[in-house]
């Protein structure tokens, strides 16, 4: 993931803040913290009185002007204080990550997770705990184990029906009865199965499905009746075996809280509706999250770092879980003015608790 798109665990830090000295970083950090806490533009006078910098308001005002020139803050109105930009939030978050300590989930939270009877119960529990801890939308997702295509068999049942048997790695078998609109001889079905087994054996199921769809779209395939027949029969069965992502979302109503609506701005309500629609159409949310969560550990995406415009008034804090390779992820989605320290601690500690709890499910 590119630096502007997010940070993995604080190790892959962006260039945000690279041109700032330590005092400027502290001033920016104090401003972001105060704005997150109060929701009001922060003035140099406020920083002078409560920031413990030991310098005058004029000195701090000069520092804020410099931060504004560099793109870390902006002034909503001429007479107002400053508020952080996306770059300012990024610098603040990177500083949090560099100094954070690993936290462990509270014993009662971990105990509740261990009571889950199924993986879906575990996901529901994790997303609920995250939403409760952060007061934002919480999500948890898990991927099926990847499987590869081994072979397919076509068994004629009667002139209009064929039993399709697909075998994948690990001995998983799918049976499906497919209606056909032509009479197929056993020899035709055997040739069709041989064709598929030769072409696709050993390939991951998503690749098999993509290749089948691609070949069906190719005009030249239509001239090979046997290949087209085999591809159509296989397509209707392989779809059931392609690994699916299970995702659970809790706390969507938090996006409608007055504080959240004010934080994203009332003109962004259309964006809020688009996000809620994305949550309803979970496959879109899964596709987006899968793009972000392309490595192990913590990922944070802030505002304009999102590739989807509908999410740019929001920030995402997420972490993968799994011992050797990521098998799932949890996280929160909330306004730019979220309490990042709290969200990071909740997501990070709970992701490790998920790995431990999964062994009991």
- What integer pLDDT is reported at residue 334 of this predicted model? 87
- Under 8 Å between Cβ of 209 and 171: no
Cα–Cα dist 83/87, whole Å: 11
Residue 31: the pLDDT is: 96
Q: What CA–CA distance (Å, rounded) separates 230 from 148?
A: 18
Instruction: Give span(s): CATH 3.30.390.60, the chain.
Output: 149-238
The span from the CA of 303 to the CA of 314, in Å, is 5
What local confidence, expressed as pLDDT, does residue 25 receive?
Answer: 93
Q: Which CATH superfamily is domain 107-144+244-358 in?
A: GAF domain (3.30.450.40)
Residues of the chain within CATH 1.10.10.10 domain(s) are 7-99
Cα–Cα distance list, 271 to 75, 166, 199 (Å)? 23, 43, 45
Distances (CA, A) of 246 to 142, 206, 312: 5, 16, 25
pLDDT at position 325? 59
Mean pLDDT for each consecutive 10-residue tract of the chain (361 residues)?
41 61 93 93 93 88 94 88 95 89 74 80 89 89 75 85 82 77 80 84 80 70 63 66 72 68 58 74 76 78 87 88 72 91 91 74 49
Which helix (DSSP H) or strand (DSSP E) does residue 347 occupy?
helix 340-358
What gap in Å lies between CA 178 and CA 160, rounded to an integer? Answer: 8
pLDDT for 207 equals 80
Smallest CA-to-CA distance from 141 within 174, 163, 119, 109 is with: 119
User: d(Cα 59, Cα 45) in Å, to the nearest integer?
Assistant: 10
**Dmax (CA) of the chain:** 91
Closest CA to 271 of 216, 317, 225, 313: 313
The CATH class given to the 149-238 domain equals alpha beta
Instruction: Report phi then psi at 269, rounded to 5.
Output: -65, -35
**Is 7-99 a CATH 1.10.10.10 domain?**
yes
Q: Indicate the length of the chain as a whole number.
A: 361
CB atoms within 10 A of CB 308: 13
For residue 227, the surrounding DSSP H or E stretch is helix 225-238
Spatial separation of the C-alpha atoms in residues 167 and 272, rounded to whole Å: 44
The pLDDT of residue 289 is 80
Round to whole Å and give the CA distance between 315 and 332. Answer: 8
Assign 3-class secondary structure to 91-106.
Answer: HHHHHHHHHCCCCCCC
Query: Would you say 250 and 131 are in contact if contact means Cβ atoms under 8 Å apart?
Result: yes
Residue 14: the pLDDT is: 46
pLDDT at 94: 93
């Amino acid at each position: 993931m590119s630096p502007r798109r997010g940070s993995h665990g604080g190790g892959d830090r962006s260039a945000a803040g690279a041109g700032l000295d330590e005092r400027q970083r502290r001033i920016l950090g104090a401003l972001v913290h105060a704005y997150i806490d109060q929701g009001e533009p922060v003035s140099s006078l406020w920083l002078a009185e409560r920031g413990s910098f030991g310098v005058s308001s004029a000195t701090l005002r000069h520092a804020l002007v410099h931060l504004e020139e560099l793109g870390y803050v902006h002034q909503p109105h001429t007479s107002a204080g400053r508020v952080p930009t996306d770059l300012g939030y990024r610098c603040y978050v990177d500083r949090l990550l560099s100094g954070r300590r690993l936290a462990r989930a509270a014993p009662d939270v971990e105990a509740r997770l261990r009571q889950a009877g199924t993986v879906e119960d575990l996901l529901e529990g994790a997303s609920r705990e995250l939403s409760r801890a952060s007061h934002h939308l919480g999500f948890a997702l898990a991927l099926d184990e990847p499987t590869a295509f081994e072979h397919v068999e076509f068994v004629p049942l009667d002139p209009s029906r064929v039993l399709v048997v697909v075998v994948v790695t690990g001995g998983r078998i799918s049976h499906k009865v497919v209606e056909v609109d032509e009479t197929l001889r056993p020899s035709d079905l055997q040739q069709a199965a041989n064709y598929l087994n030769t072409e696709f054996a050993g390939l991951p199921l998503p690749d098999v499905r993509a290749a089948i769809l691609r070949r069906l779209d190719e005009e030249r395939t239509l001239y090979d009746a046997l290949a087209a027949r085999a591809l159509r029969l296989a397509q209707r069965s392989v779809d059931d075996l392609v690994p699916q992502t299970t995702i659970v979302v809790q706390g969507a109503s938090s996006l409608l809280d007055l504080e959240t609506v004010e934080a994203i701005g009332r003109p962004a309500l259309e964006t809020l509706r688009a996000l809620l629609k994305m949550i309803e159409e979970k496959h879109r949310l899964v596709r987006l999250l899968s793009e972000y969560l392309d490595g192990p550990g913590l990922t944070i995406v802030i505002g304009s770092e999102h590739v989807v415009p509908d999410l740019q008034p929001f920030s995402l804090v997420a972490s993968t879980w799994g011992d050797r390779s990521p098998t799932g992820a949890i996280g929160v989605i909330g306004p730019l003015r979220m309490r990042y320290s709290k969200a990071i601690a909740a997501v990070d500690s709970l992701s490790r608790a998920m790995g431990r709890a999964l062994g009991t499910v």
